[in-house]
Structure 1
Amino acid sequence: MSALFNFQSLLSVILLLICTCAYLRSLFPSIIDRNKTGLLGTFWKMARIGERKSPWVGAACLIMACTVLFWS
């Protein structure tokens, strides 16, 4: 089943994208920062969310990990 049709999988994919974009921006800021508009601008926006809301994103990742490990 696709991650688009399963809400828990969709949330997992979004959280992983946010964390990955924020991590890649910390390593290679020029790659993410040059594309602030368009389709590739989505990755820049996810990196900004990961940087500014990092405690909330981290808590969401922990909650998602617990639900995947113990609930599913």
Structure 2
Amino acid sequence: MSALFNFSSLLQVILLLICSSTYIHSQWPSLFDRYKDTGVLSTFWKLSRIGERASPYVSIACIIMAVNQFNS
């Protein structure tokens, strides 16, 4: 089943995108900053901002999803 149709898988994909974008932005800030207004990379810049500003909530969500994966 596609990750777009399964809600749990969709949440995992979104969390992975947020975490990956935040990590890439912390390592190479200029990569997303120069494209923050236009294009597809602006989505990744926005995801990295969510990861930076909502970091405790994102990390709690990642822990919950990891426990969910171990139980299933």
Q: TM-score range by the shorter chain?
A: over 0.9
- Residue 54 of structure 1 is matched in structure 2 by 55
Query: RMSD in angstroms over aligned alpha carbons?
Result: 0.8
Identical positions, percent: 63
Distance (whole Å) between structure 2 residues aligned to residue 9 and residue 26 of structure 1: 26
User: Map of 1:11-50 to 2, 5 A cutoff?
Assistant: 11-36=11-36, 37-50=38-51
| TM-score of the two chains, using structure 2 as the length reference | 0.93
Q: Tell me, which stretches of 5 or more residues in structure 2 are unaligned?
A: none
Q: Does 1:8 align with 2:8?
A: yes
**What's the offset of the Cα at 1:14?**
0.2
- Name the count of aligned residue pairs: 71
Name segments (4+ residues, structure 1) moved above 2 Å. Answer: none
